[in-house]
Structure 1
Amino acid sequence: MTIPFQYHRAPRLLALAGAIAIALAGCSSDDSPATKPADPVKPGEPAAKYQAEISRTSFGVPHIKANDEGSLAYGVAYAYSQDNVCLLADEFTTVSGERSRHFGPTATRQTSDIPNLQTDFFYRIINDEESVKTALAAHAAPMKAMIEGYVAGYNDYLEKTGMNNLPAACRNGSWVRKVTELDMVKLLRRYAAEASSGQFIGAMVGATPPGQAPLMPAVPPKAGTHPMDPAYWDAMRERTGSNAVALGKDATDNGQGMLLGTPHFPWRGALRFYQMHLTIPGKLDAMGAALGGMPMVNIGFNQTLAWTHTVNNSAHFTVHMLALDPGDPTKYIVDGKPQAMTRKTVNVEVKGADGAIATQSRTFYSSQYGPVVVIPGQLDWNAGMAYSLNDANLANHRMLEQWYGMTTARTMDEFKGAIDRTVGLPWVNTLAVDKDGSALFMDVTVVPHVSTAKQQACVPAPFKPLAARGLFVLSGASSACAPGTDSGAPQPGIFAGASLPRLVRSDYVQNSNDSAWLSNPQAPLTGFPDIVSVDNVEQFGRTRLGITQVQKRLAGTDGLAGRKMTIPQLQALALGNRVYYADQVMDDVLALCRSDAGAGADLVTACARLNQWDRTVNLDSNIGYLYFTGLWERIVRVPGVWAVPFNPADPVNTPRGLNLDNPASATAVRQALAAAAQDVAKLGVSQDARWGDVQLATRGAKRIPIHGGKGGDGVYNAIGNVLAGDGKLEVIYGTSYIQTVSFNQDGPQVQAMLAYSQSTDPASKHFADQTERFSKKEWITQPYTEAQIKADPAFSTMTVTRKADGTLAAKP
């Protein structure tokens, strides 16, 4: 069927006409750009169901305007599909549990090493029909309109473009299909569960009663590789972590709010950010970035506020230890009475080697707390005991409502109130500033209500050390040990927003994925249950670096003029590329090197490179960092290695130095240096290479040098990589959408970059353009007002419309 669809791209000369129109129209009361009403309906012509104007500026950033929520989401989906349709189609396939049907059961995604069959069973479990329909029904009317509009926009893009004309990655793919509102809800639930059920895929699909063969071999995992190990979450917060600094009026050069946001997210897959600007006149005028498939800005700014997020340290799940009926391992005891586990048979269609489709079925078990999970050697299902996972975020249907409330807030009080009232953020802290110079930190997310008293009474003795780190296993034998509920909470079993940490300051707040404790060391946040925020624990290097740099700037002890922060100084903090732990230990390492006159060749090589290294990961730094990171990962957890151990009374400056007077520590350092040298030799890196020759982002035939290093090494500009062969490392996660925001009499002044660029399509001119700017540390000024948008040298515009009869059209 031929669909009538027309579009119009405005020439550059429209900038002058736009400026004149704005001058004639004047400013609206909320400073939102005006938009024209929907096109008038001609006699006999069906009315418009959705209509959105999509204007593009430099680097492909869409500015989307509409008169209602459904039309806005329609425009977002259309614009996002123009840039990333294959990525979105792939994600819809995943969350529907359909990967094995199209790609086979043993293949894995680019962003995961979990086989498709396991992924499919997992999503069929959490996205069962009843749960998804319940979640859709729970959305408020404006949010349902956004879900419906987004689905319409995506489907219309597919129909208008045609399967034959999609980008090469998904052209004529059997897995590319139109979607429904239920598919959108499945995607939202996937995001909600990212820091909870999403980390238990293997544990959930591998859970079978004693004596039955599991879906996958029951092999005890290595330390740090499963979600009941605190080191696992430390590593996750490095991969999908963030830094943020919010500066109040007492800390900025102009006496107004100033914000730095640097989320560290995957450079591949659905967790990639996408830049966009959304406007509903009189309601909404927010710009920033969102995860793929989100019809709402997640991190960004409006006329009076700017905000960002950091992955938080709270737990969003509990595990419940089930005492089983001696005669039946699928029955458990609660308050002395046996309860039968719920059984659910899940079917997955699987493509065989011959291309034929067959169905595989598995039965999964759940208690009243949630699905049974198994981690061999940690959470085993035997004749007497089993473990069940309670994921509080699977009942969180408020994410869209939450970000809508934040983006439409006009004042800091409205902003805080929206977060407290909704409690819809799944797993991220919020840091924000307003134009008047308030700085806000809020650790208000969906957290199971486990009070300190309940922790003491209900955590079995073997699991108390985990609880002290924020991971909770509770007794399932007593209903009194189930999570409680605050009276003001929007769902059962969680804390109310008012019960969770927050801090408002006129100087600063910050966070780099540690707990709420030291958001500002002058006003520590203490006394919260461990499941919310853990006090008096060693902080990440990025936390210590961020606090130290801000403190030195405000004290005037960083060698720069003045005692207030400017935007260039804030940007230098973000991308200075200091390796914090190198500053803590390298003097001692080099002293050891000088004392080892008869050292072996590997140790001599490592010492020589480290002696020449400037302790940064800038493009022109030598490869000493490779030796340092190999050293650091081997000694960081060696008992007694620190000269000055962690001191809760001085958490920003401890631990520090190496205890080389201890022969065991000195030996560990020597061995680690030699092993690091061997690693570099195996990598095949030239000894004359610079860091920019080694760490790269491949974009077609281009290999773009990328600065930054591992967050675990204390690098604020956290970048993660994998081996790419020929002595190169390919970036796969790290600094993503990075923004600095300040305010003046003209409103928000914003510079930002999307490190991996807007589009995943190699044929797009926006596949690598921002990546090249990020490589050069060339921040991009963001056009926000109508005049700025139309004055942009790359300005173009189109209007997309779906008529009530389902046809597509646009104004000429």
Structure 2
Amino acid sequence: MAVAAPWASAVGDQHQGASGVQIRRTEYGVPHILAQNYSDLGYGYGYAFAQDNACEMADRVLTLRGERSRYFGATARTNDSLNGTDTNLDSDTYFQALLRAGTVRELLSRPAPLGPTPEMRRLMEGYAAGFDRYLKDVGVAHLPDPTCQGQPWVQPITAEDLWTNILDIDQLGGAAGLRQEIANATPPAPNTSPTTTTTALAGSLSAAKPTGRGSNGWALGADATADGTGMLLANPHLPWNGDARFYQVQLTIPGVLDVTGGALYGTPVVQIGHTAGVAWTHTSTDSDHLSLYQLQLVPGDPTSYLVDGRPERMQQRQVPVTVRGADGRQTTVVRTLYTSRYGPVLADGWTATSALTMRDANADNIRSMDQWLAMDRAQSVDQLRAAQRRYQGSPWTYTIATDTTGAAYFTDNSATPHLTDAQLASCRVAPLPGIGVPLLNGATTACDWGSDPDAVEPGLYGPAAQPALLRRDYVANSNNTPALTNPAAPLTGYPQVFGASPQLALRPQNGLGMIAARIAGTDGLGPAGFTLPTLRELMFDDTDRSAQVGLADVLAMCRAHPTLTAGDGAVVDVRAACTALGNWDGHGTVNSHGEVLWASFFGDLAKGPATWWRVPYDPKQPLTTPRGIDGEAPVVQHAFADAVQDAVKKGVALDAAPGDVKRWDNVPLHGCGDWEGCFNVLYAYPTSGQGGGTSASRTSWAMGSSFMMTVEMSPTGPKASTLLTYSESANPASPHYTDQTTLYSHSQWVTERFTAADIAASPALQVTTLRR
């Protein structure tokens, strides 16, 4: 419980005696943690997070320890929102293998920068201790969240649990996205016919690098803003459920650290945010963070393979998992996992003659925490760049940043395999259906990763080879390749593994178009140049880019053809649907009636080859092509009829708006699909839960805009507005469960409180003082 305590006078971690930590909560429950050293800072942060999300963290730790099957059975789905098809048994097998290999402990034994710095270790240990202190103070039987109140799986956590969480987050673009494939890999039985089925692998790779798990990030330099200041827009798109949520927090050690922003659950640093001098955000990269290798197996031995003509045996590890049966009894399931010189062997594609294996660029990466901690102390773009060069810990994200000088900076400094263009050309083997990652020849060391002298770890590209751009006008990314970060200064010459195609999808095209119109002052929002109000307004503009370039053609088509033939041969009357689209405003706001029908139609159309554009993509016109939809193309007419038919079958009104069908705890939502070219991405679907853990309480699944921030780095201090779309707490009984969600529904923002005076002036201020 909260007690009064004297303040320690020391700075940093020089003072290790009794000290106090304050949790100051302002509007919407945002915690501002004030401490005198890193250990106490982590302690206060862990305690505050537990107040809001104890059940979510306990559920996550259950996953990280490989113990879900013990409590919820083998076949239930996990609460992992980015790997939602994993069964408990698959997940437990993967994590038990990781624990038994001692991977995290070995990484923690390394000196910095490969292992953690002393400051980061104390921060992590303090976080775990603060979380555990909350459980002790309140008692599991009296937790305020009914989701896990009194449950035996709610247990104290350790720093090692948190480091396992970090490694798993860092490997989302690699091994963590392929848990099913790793946990189910089994050599073929003797005399079975060979098969190269890779359907499941294609789905897993798509989950590891999906289009929708993206973000928008803009850094607006002095030449793009009305007052000549640097501005930033942060708009990550991640799931609203489960363990990939953001938590908004401010972390302060006077004279040492003062940072605010969004942090992924279970991480004691700010990943997207700002200090007094610099602001930054991240978007998911287009680069590859894993390499897929095909092994040539030794004849008659499916667990041995050839490299440069010499045989090597796969390593094998038996992994026992405790499983609760339907009758409540516990049994043990033992699986054997296989590993090659490259990394885990995968289930799909394992035949008598070949097998697939993968190498993860983030296999040893827990450096991300120290990199973000160093960025959290930075006061300029230069200092931020220095932090990234030292630790090279970005796992799978671009960085977009600005500072008080009005610089605008972009880089892909993520952990990227050192594969040259020549290797990608010579090492590729026959592509497998649906596999978007290059499949390389694992039978020769000529296809191994190389290295750079400035790389912190062998096998990776170093900072000198990474795409980067520093401007005075702007840099922007919406998960496109680095090439058109700023179309006025295209990036070229970087290795193809960072992203080969410069073609813009509709969403980045939409974003770059908004920036250009605002700089020119042609968007109807007033004089040229960005201000914070115009930046906020553009974020919630909800323009549907696909409608901008194709709605008129579709309307002409359906007006000329009042009946159309669906894919199943049925004749569909589309007149009412055509009227609904004719009344649609071409946006994805809560009340944009007709958008739901358009999303269904265009989403179906976009699944196949894009042969229906009237004007195909032209690399000389990257911002204005493709455009126009050929309404006479059969595929277009079939897709429209199918969308109408589907809406009728589901009982969805033909003029339904996003707010009619997208809801979070009955709060209507706006935003639309990535495939439509919507900047503010939001998906939401009903669900009945996944059979165990915290997800049983969920009434919907959502993904899209999550922690949002607009900030101006003015000479007098940062001025920011923020919004955590799903709010601070996952506890349905908390007052902060949907309070910011309601703001999001109405396109409203929270005025940030950053300085001590701002925090003290909050009418909602509540202060908790902890003594250890």
Q: With the length of structure 1 as denominator, give the TM-score of the two structures.
A: 0.88
Q: Is the 8 A contact 1:463 1:472 kept in 2?
A: no
- The reply to whether residue 7 of structure 1 matches residue 34 of structure 2 is no
How far apart are residue 579 of structure 1 and its match? Answer: 0.7
Structure 1 unaligned spans of 5+: 10-34, 41-45, 803-812
1:359 corresponds in structure 2 to 332
Structure 1 residues 465 and 204: CA distance shift in structure 2, 3 A: closer
Corresponding residue of 2:391: 422
Q: 1:350 to 1:38 in 2, by over 3 A?
A: farther
Closer, same or farther: CA 683–209 of 1 in aligned 2, 3 Å = same
Per-residue CA deviations over 1:744-795 (Å, capped at 9, x if unaligned) read: 3320000011000000111211111111111111111011100000000011
Secondary structure of the 1:279 match is strand
Shift of 1:370: 0.5
**Contact map agreement 1:242 1:262 (CA 8 A) in 2:** yes
SS at match of 1:764: coil
1:691 equivalent in structure 2: 658
User: Displacement, 1:307?
Assistant: 0.6
Cα distance in 2 for residues equivalent to 1:296 and 1:213: 53
Distance 1:539 1:740 in 2: 24
SS at match of 1:484: coil
Residues 680 and 223 of structure 1: CA distance in aligned 2, closer, same or farther (over 3 Å):
farther
In the alignment, structure 1 residue 349 sits paired with structure 2 residue 322: yes
Aligned counterpart, 1:299: 272
Q: Which residue of 1 aligns with 2:692?
A: none
The corresponding residue for 2:180 is: 202
Correspondence 1:797 to 2:755: no
Indicate if the aligned counterparts of 2:316 and 2:336 stay in contact, CA closer than 8 A. Answer: yes
Separation in 2, partners of 1:281, 1:691: 45
Of 500, 506, 510, which residue of structure 1 is paired with 2:476?
510
370, 379, 382: which one pairs with 2:351? 382
Other-structure match for 2:282 = 309
Distance verdict in 2 for CA 1:691–1:480, change over 3 Å: closer
Q: Which residue of 2 aligns with 1:668?
A: 635
SS at match of 1:429: strand
Q: Deviations over 1:503-540 (max 9, x none)?
A: 0110011000111111101111122222112233x322
User: Counterpart in 1 of 2:256?
Assistant: 283
CA contact (8 A) 1:136 1:144 kept: no
Q: How far apart in 1 are the matches of 2:479 and 2:183?
A: 29
Farther off after superposition, 772-781 or 634-643: 634-643
Task: Say if 2:647 and 2:653, in contact at 8 Å, map to a contact too.
Answer: no
Residue aligning to 1:679: 646
Distance of 1:92 and 1:50 partners within structure 2: 28
Letter in 1 for 2:24: S
Whole-Å Cα distance in 1 between the matches of residues 208 and 551 of structure 2?
27
Contact 1:244–1:308 (CA under 8 A) maintained in structure 2: yes
Which residue type is aligned with residue 441 of structure 1? F
- Offset at residue 206 of structure 1 (A): 1.9
Distance in 1 (CA, whole Å) between partners of 2:229 and 2:29 is 30
Q: Counterpart in 1 of 2:132?
A: 155
Write the distance in 2 (CA, Å) between the matches of 1:47 and 1:550. Answer: 50
1:566 pairs with 2:531: yes
User: Hey, what does 1:642 align to over in structure 2?
Assistant: 613
Q: Would you say 1:124 and 2:96 are equivalent positions?
A: yes
**Equivalent in the alignment of 2:70:** 101
Correspondence 1:372 to 2:342: no
What secondary structure sits across from 1:364 in the alignment? strand
Work out the CA distance in 1 between the residues paired with 2:700 and 2:649.
16
The residue that corresponds to 1:193 in the other structure is 171
The CA distance in 2 between the partners of 1:638 and 1:122, in whole Å, is 37
User: Match of 1:221?
Assistant: 199
Instruction: Tell which deviates more after alignment, 687-696 or 495-504.
Output: 687-696
What is the deviation of 1:7? Answer: 2.9
For residue 734 of structure 1, what is the aligned residue in structure 2? 704
Amino acid across the alignment from 1:419: Q
Matches within 5 A, 1:698-737: 698=665, 703-723=666-686, 730=700, 732-737=702-707
Whole-angstrom CA distance in 2 between matches of 1:50 and 1:323:
60
Which deviations, in whole Å up to 9, do the C-alpha atoms of 1:313-362 show, x marking residues without a partner?
A: 11111111111111311111112111111010011110111211111111
Pair 1:542-2:507 in alignment = yes
Looking at structure 2, the residues matched to 74 and 177 of structure 1 have their Cα atoms a distance apart, in angstroms, of 17
**Number of the residue aligned with 1:605:** 576
| Aligned ranges 1:459-474 → 2 under 5 Å | 459-462=428-431, 471-474=437-440
Structure-2 separation of matches of 1:556 and 1:654: 22
1:207, 1:374 within 8 Å by CA — same for their partners in 2?
yes
Q: Paired residue for 1:432?
A: 401
CA contact (8 A) 1:642 1:656 kept: yes
Change (3 A) 1:388 1:168: same
Contact 2:596/2:656 (8 A) holds in 1: no
Deviating more after overlay: 746-755 vs 599-608: 599-608
**In the alignment, what sits opposite 2:568?**
none
Q: Which amino acid aligns with 2:34?
A: K
Q: Check the 8 A contact 1:135/1:185 in 2, yes or no.
A: no
Q: Distance in 2 between matches of 1:676 and 1:47?
A: 65
User: What is the 5 A alignment of 1:519-598?
Assistant: 519-536=485-502, 538-597=503-562
- Please give the alpha-carbon distance, in whole angstroms, between the structure 1 residues aligned to 2:588 and 2:235: 17
Give yes or no for the alignment of 1:492 onto 2:458. Answer: yes
Q: Residues 81 and 518 of structure 1: is their aligned pair in 2 closer, same or farther, counting only changes over 3 Å?
A: same
Percent of residue pairs identical: 37
User: Shift of residue 626 of structure 1?
Assistant: 1.6
C-alpha displacement of 1:457: 2.4
RMSD: 2.4
The AA in structure 2 aligned to 1:210 is P
Tell me what 1:17 maps to. Answer: none
Once residues 181 and 654 of structure 2 are traced to their aligned partners in structure 1, the CA distance between those partners, rounded to angstroms, is: 44
Matched, 1:775 2:740: no
Equivalent residue pairs, number: 741
The one-letter amino acid paired with 1:144 is R
Counterpart CA distance in 1 for 2:734 and 2:4 is: 19
Measure the CA separation in 1 of the matches of 2:70 and 2:160: 19
2:211 aligned partner: 237
C-alpha contact 1:288 1:297 (8 A) present in aligned 2: yes
1:472 shift after superposition: 2.7
Give, in whole Å, the separation in 1 of the partners of 2:494 and 2:715.
Answer: 40
CA contact (8 A) 1:696 1:731 kept: no
Deviations 1:463-502 (CA, angstroms, capped at 9, x unpaired): 7996xx6x23221111221111111111121111221011
User: Which segment drifts farther, 647-656 or 679-688?
Assistant: 679-688
Aligned position for 1:20: none
Matched, 1:651 2:630: no
Q: CA deviation at 1:123?
A: 1.7
- Change in Cα spacing, 1:453 to 1:220, as seen in structure 2 (3 Å) is closer
1:488–1:688 distance in 2 versus 1, CA, 3 Å:
closer
AA at the equivalent of 2:553: D
Counterparts of 1:505 and 1:579, CA distance in 2: 28
Distance 1:367 1:478 in 2: 13
Partner of 1:324: 297
Q: Is the 8 A contact 2:563 2:572 kept in 1?
A: no
SS of alignment partner, residue 152 of structure 1:
helix
**Structure 1 SS opposite 2:366:** coil
* Cα separation, 1, equivalents of 2:492 and 2:433: 20
Q: Distance in 2 between matches of 1:418 and 1:797?
A: 33
Q: Give, in whole Å, the separation in 1 of the partners of 2:321 and 2:266.
A: 24
- The answer to whether the Cα contact below 8 Å between 1:125 and 1:346 also exists between their aligned partners in 2 is yes
| Shift in alpha-carbon separation, 1:639–1:578, aligned structure 2, 3 A | closer
| In 2, Cα distance between equivalents of 1:175 and 1:218 | 40
SS at match of 1:460: coil
Classify the secondary structure of the residue corresponding to 1:372: coil
The more displaced of 205-214 and 524-533 is 205-214
Distance 1:720 1:369, change over 3 A: same
Shift of 1:224: 6.1
Structure 2 equivalent of residue 18 of structure 1:
none
